[in-house]
Amino acid sequence: MSEAKLRQSVASLGRALGRLDEALREPDTNPLAIDGTIQRFEFAIELLWKTLKRVLEHEGIQTRTPREALREAYQAGW
C-alpha cells in the first residue's frame, strides 16, 4: 500500500473522529441526535480498524478481523 493511501486513511479517520466529537457535544435530549451520534461512532470504529489493518499491512503484519487488528496494534505498542 502506498504512503499516500495510508495518509488518506489516517486523514479520513481524523475527520470521522472530529465529527464524532462534534456529535458528542450536542445535548442528548433529542433522539435523532443520539441516533446520529451512534452512527458516527460506528463509522469511526469501522475506519479505525481498517486504518489499523492498512498500517499493520504496511509494516508487514497481516490481520483479517477487527479483533486481530486491535490486538496486533496493541502488541506493536500503538
Which among 60, 70, 47 is positioned nearest to 1, based on CA atoms? Answer: 60
Q: What is the pLDDT of residues 10-36, one digit of tens each?
A: 999 999 999 999 999 998 888 999 999
Count of domains observed in the chain: 1
Contact 57, 30 (CB under 8 A): no
Domain of 66, in residue numbers: 3-75
Q: What is the pLDDT of residues 29-62, one digit of tens each?
A: 889 999 999 999 999 999 999 999 999 999 999 9
Report the pLDDT value the prediction gives residue 2, as an integer from 0 to 100: 84
Predicted TM-score (pTM) of the model is 0.84
pLDDT reading at 1 higher than 80: no
